[in-house]
Amino acid sequence: MSNSKLRWRIGEVEIIQVAEMEENEIFSSFIPEAKRERIKKIKWLRPNFADERGELKSLVQSFIVRSEGKNILIDTCNGNDKDRPNVPEWGNLQTNYLKKFSKVGVVLEQIDYVACTHLHFDHVGWNTKLEDGKWVPTFPNAKYLFSKGEYEYWIKRPKKEMIDDFNGIDDSVTPVVEAGLAEFVVDDYKIDKNVRFMPTPGHTPHHVSVVIESEGKKAIITGDVMHHPCQIAHQEWTTEADTYPDQTVETRRKFLNKVKDTDTLVIGSHFANPVAGKVVSRKKELRLKV
């Protein structure tokens, strides 16, 4: 990936990409039905979202939403130094993610809010960083917004979920709560007049997407309502990490029905560059038009 810094303007709000890493193979196996032969048939995925061999292209990334003079960071990727035995490719990373903030003109102390779409480990990682052997909040002046229901689900350590996510709670959520920086909110919480949560449950029980609306323009940061644009063509394709696969599909269908053939910019949390587009219908099929 080039050191790209994509930006979008939605009315008076600016959205800035902060990417942590490219990731291809994990997502290809993560959506079991996204076999290469099937991906090759969805021609509009090339060249941005799949390669000639039918391998998916993806990103792990965050977005800074600048609204009413505040910086709101949406999701915090994997983080460095984290122990992730089930997905070792995303454990013990040493990326230069934090340096990218100064490159886009934001220092860590200027992040006013951190909002996590859900509490999977690849969305909370940079909530904390390792300092003298301890996990400390990376954004010292931020309020960290977590769905109350989502937090309550994860602290009970539900049996069907994997150890990496529990590790994520322990090293990237609990230290924030103990530092007094967490705020537990409802699933349709309004951060300010332009930015709000929209409940999109299924992938996790209290998963949310983030709606940005200003001066008649609208964008939605998806979270993991979809992991890859191939799920716009095949809305029924679930992932191994969906807590409730049936609800995930229902939520995705509703989401896509709502945005299709509108001016809403859909910004995919794991979509490869250029990351955003409009959902359009061609005959009976939906696709992402970038």
Q: Omega into 201 within 30° of 0, i.e. cis?
A: no
Alpha-carbon radius of gyration of the chain: 18
Cα 251 vs. chain centroid, distance in angstroms? Answer: 16
Smallest distance from the beta carbon of 140 to Zn ion, in angstroms? 25
Smallest distance from the beta carbon of 118 to Zn ion, in angstroms? 8
Measure the CA–CA gap between 46 and 24, rounded to whole angstroms.
Answer: 14
Nearer to Zn ion, 122 or 242 (CB): 122
Nearer to Zn ion, 26 or 98 (CB): 26
Smallest distance from the beta carbon of 228 to Zn ion, in angstroms? 11
Nearer to Zn ion, 151 or 194 (CB): 151
Contacts with Zn ion: how many residues (CB under 5 A)?
2
Burial (CB < 10 A; 0-12, 13-18, 19+), residue 116, is: buried
Smallest distance from the beta carbon of 189 to Zn ion, in angstroms? 20
Largest pairwise CA distance in the chain: 58
What is the SS3 assignment for 6?
Answer: coil
Nearer to Zn ion, 27 or 214 (CB): 27
| Contacts (CB under 5 A) with Zn ion, residues 100-139 | 122
Smallest distance from the beta carbon of 42 to Zn ion, in angstroms? 21
Gap between the terminal Cα atoms of the chain: 18
Residues 7 and 42: beta-carbon distance below 8 Å: no
Nearer to Zn ion, 13 or 225 (CB): 225
Q: According to the binding rule CB under 5 A, does residue 165 interact with Zn ion?
A: no
Nearer to Zn ion, 13 or 220 (CB): 220
Sign, Cα dihedral of 173, 177, 180, 183: positive
| Contact string (CB under 5 A) for Zn ion, positions 210-249, x = contact | --------------x-------------------------
Smallest distance from the beta carbon of 226 to Zn ion, in angstroms? 10
Element spanning 32, H or E: none
How wide is the angle at C-alpha 252 spanned by C-alphas 247 and 254, nearest 5°? 95
List of residues contacting Zn ion (CB under 5 A): 122, 224
